[in-house]
Amino acid sequence: MNAQEIEHKVKNLLSQMTLEEKVGQMTQVDFSVIGDPKEQNAEDQINPAKLEDAVLKHHVGSILNAPLNQQVGSIFHPSFTSANNAQSVEIWRKLTRTVQDAAARSRLKIPVIYGIDAIHGATYTENSVLFPQAINMAATFNAELAFKEGEITAREVRVSGLQWNFSTVMDIGRQPLWPRLWETFGEDVHLATVMGTSYIKGHQGDNFSAVDKAPTCLKHYVGYSYPLNGKDRTPAWIGERTLREYFLPTFEAGIKAGSPTVMVNSAEVDGIPGHANHHYLTTILRGELGFKGFTVSDWADIKRLYTRDKMAASEKEAVKIAVMAGIDMSMVPFDFSFYDLLIDLVKSGEVPMSRIDEAVSRILTVKYQAGLFEPKPLLPIEGNFATAEAIETNRQAARESIILAKNDHNILPLKKDTNILVTGPTANLLNVMNGGWTITWQGDAEDLYPQEKLTVLEAIQEKSTGKVTYIGGDAFDAPIDVQQVVEEAKNHDVILLSLGEKPYTETAGNIESLNLDQAQVELANAAIATGKPVILLTLGGRPRIITSIAERASGVILGFLPGMEGGEAIADILYGDYNPNGKLPVSYPRNTNGITPYDYKPMESFEGNTYNPLYAFGHGLSYTTFATSGLKAEKEKIRMDENINVTVNVKNTGALTGKETVLLYINDVAASVTRPNKQLKAFKKVELNPGQTESVSFTLTPHDLSFIGVDLKRIVEPGDFKVMVGNEIVGFTVTE
């Protein structure tokens, strides 16, 4: 169906809808509203009476989330029980079929759109391909892998009968304390833009009505990721220039890439909650960015304008504020309060029908675009779900996402017959490699993880021909016998010290300090004191402070959250079966408050101020070496509206084949708004054999040279620019 046909159909349908049917379309409820808690994979988790009430009586337009199975609690966060958990692909097909059958019995037969958080693969479908989390995907600097992740995720979501993915996170990760840092593609605008848009293109294809494609959702618009105090759902202080320069561009790119839905910031920016911000949701999103799709609230956030923010004097006023600010669909999620209140508001004239028609038209348009009105049979499970090829892509993504940060005297790779002592709380768990949104919301239900996947310890045991000894509790809450570690070290050549964090997301992951747990520090100190070489491996969503350990360790591997194939990927790197090439997508702080990003301003390196992270943005070693040389700008002068080409040679100067990401930064030498010391504007990943050289070329556009000026408009200013690659710098001048 082309755009005109869709427009026509939407108008026609809208003209037949009652107010109740329209407001129903704007209502999204949680699975619990139509279901009862039952055993996992029970056939009868949907309660037919509740389903009728939601879909036929309240006309709900959308359902989200997975069933809640009683037996699953949250091991690590007693106050946060897991809100839901994964079902088999067969059960999902039945559940979603039942929902669509109910919608097909409604007066106008408008399909329900079923949404899910499939943020690193189909989170809530058992045995789906679960990729490295976004922070790791960013570390690959490989846009093709993000594209493939999008393709595979969309296919597995659709094979599960699900239709809409609350992914991808386009927030940029510039606040390391924030417990969702790992859901971002890191601190850099360009990197996040490239990775996020590649994912969207893979996920949606040319046409997301295809049976293996699905609409994505850009979240969390906008400024959510930069809470001043580091805690989830707390205020950000972002001025409009900074917002436009750092936080909006990724969303703008996601809209251009065709994402038809946007989820709203659960917190507030500059005193205005995301859900009340007309300026962001309407003036900028619609007026400037030209977004044509629909916006969905985040979880319960319209109510919270009243219950939390005290911005509204009643829940009804909260609904009015949010809808008039530009929210099209409310993730209510547990009741029909939004539906009842909005109907009242329209009847009393407080919300005009035109605003309802606008929101509903947008929602129906996306439903038509997604092919929901003409449903095709689901793809067969066989050949489309957890295929060997998809698992291999995942393994490759995991390998490319792991960062070798230190390798003194080439301690790595290890020989296979090395006697290795493995210790630490993250060595023998799958959940620490996957993080939140894995099987359950918090990702911490280890007993639900696929047992055939390998932990780091198990992958080492498979590969090693030497002695492998493991001393560690099986989880964070099982104490490790430090004395035994010290004793056993004598019988081993090397210690693998596997530290890090439990899985978490959202407010359950809030912390007060980036310091590692004291128990882990004590284990590290004892291991190092044995005098045996220590290889530090970190797993977890945030860069916890490891400085004093890393300085004394012989090798450091930063694993972050490499996903379900992470154990194997790490063992591949430890033993040299894979040559590491991941690079840091964030600056790794040296100290808890050392959270300056790589694109710092001049005053951050003036009069004693320094950018002094433990590991800089872009850092990552290989088992071979690379050298860049011959950096050249094609011209010395260009006009403001011209492109400029830049070339550089990169050579593999070591003895092994390997991949290198060439990073190109620019600096605007003098400008009317202070400019970062450098900003990434392009990158390319190349694979080179020993001795091989490749010439890599880049084109810089006027957009790459632009910034948000004094009057909040994007401009290019004439003057000198520097281009930096490796240790080389070339200059060029921009004239009017």
Spell out the alpha helix ranges (H) of 348-406.
Answer: 353-369, 388-400
Q: Please select the residue that binds ligand BGC; options are 80, 166, 449, 623, rule is CB under 6 A.
A: 166
Nearer to ligand BGC, 337 or 625 (CB): 337
Alpha-carbon Rg for the chain, nearest whole angstrom, is 26
Residues in the chain: 736
Rounded-to-integer distance, Cα 144 and Cα 147, Å: 5
Within a 10 A sphere around the Cβ of 670, how many other Cβ atoms?
A: 9
Q: Which of 229, 225, 222 is nearest to 274 (CA)?
A: 222
Q: Does 117 bind ligand BGC (CB under 6 A)?
A: yes
Q: Does 301 bind ligand BGC (CB under 6 A)?
A: no
Nearer to ligand BGC, 296 or 558 (CB): 296
Least Å from the CB of residue 224 to ligand BGC: 8
Least Å from the CB of residue 263 to ligand BGC: 6
Least Å from the CB of residue 304 to ligand BGC: 11
SS3 152: helix
DSSP code per residue over 226-271? --TTS-TT--B---HHHIIIIIHHHHHHHHHTT--EEEEPSSEETT
Q: Please select the residue that binds ligand BGC; options are 151, 309, 506, 668, rule is CB under 6 A.
A: 506
Nearer to ligand BGC, 166 or 294 (CB): 166
Q: Please select the residue that binds ligand BGC; options are 298, 400, 458, 660, rule is CB under 6 A.
A: 298
Nearer to ligand BGC, 62 or 418 (CB): 62
Nearer to ligand BGC, 168 or 652 (CB): 168
Nearer to ligand BGC, 30 or 668 (CB): 30
Q: Please select the residue that binds ligand BGC; options are 131, 299, 339, 588, rule is CB under 6 A.
A: 299
Least Å from the CB of residue 111 to ligand BGC: 20
Rounded-to-integer distance, Cα 529 and Cα 523, Å: 10
444 contacts: CB under 8 Å, gap ≥ 6:
74, 75, 76, 77, 82, 431, 502, 503, 504
β-pairing, 658-668 with 719-725?
antiparallel
CA distances from residue 481 to 204, 301, 461, 484, 527 in whole angstroms, order as listed: 50, 45, 21, 5, 11
Binding mask 336-355 toward ligand BGC (x if CB under 6 A, else -) reads --------------------
Nearer to ligand BGC, 197 or 261 (CB): 261
Q: Does 565 bind ligand BGC (CB under 6 A)?
A: no
Least Å from the CB of residue 434 to ligand BGC: 16
Least Å from the CB of residue 505 to ligand BGC: 8
Least Å from the CB of residue 84 to ligand BGC: 9
Binding mask 194-233 toward ligand BGC (x if CB under 6 A, else -) reads -------------------------x--------------
Binding mask 611-650 toward ligand BGC (x if CB under 6 A, else -) reads ----------------------------------------
Spell out the alpha helix ranges (H) of 532-662.
Answer: 547-552, 566-574
Least Å from the CB of residue 296 to ligand BGC: 9
Q: Which of 86, 151, 146 is nearest to 116 (CA)?
A: 86
Nearer to ligand BGC, 64 or 546 (CB): 64
Binding mask 55-94 toward ligand BGC (x if CB under 6 A, else -) reads ---------xx-----------------------------
Q: Does 268 bind ligand BGC (CB under 6 A)?
A: no
Q: Cis peptide leading into 333, omega within 30 of 0?
A: yes
Residues 576, 411 contacting (CB under 8 angstroms): no
Residue keyed to tokens 């996920």: 203
Rounded-to-integer distance, Cα 59 and Cα 53, Å: 8
Q: Which one is catalytic: 117, 188, 232, 298?
A: 298
Which residue(s) pair with 713 in the sheet?
none
485 contacts: CB under 8 Å, gap ≥ 6:
421, 423, 471, 495, 523, 526, 527, 530
Which residue(s) pair with 471 in the sheet?
423
Q: Does 266 bind ligand BGC (CB under 6 A)?
A: yes
Residue keyed to tokens 């989880």: 475
Q: Is 53 a catalytic residue?
A: no
Residues 663, 618 contacting (CB under 8 angstroms): yes
Type and span of the H or E element at 681: strand 679-688
Nearer to ligand BGC, 212 or 301 (CB): 301
Least Å from the CB of residue 116 to ligand BGC: 8
Rounded-to-integer distance, Cα 164 and Cα 213, Å: 9
Active site residues: 298
The footprint of ligand BGC (CB under 6 A) covers 64-65, 117, 166, 219, 263, 266, 298-299, 506
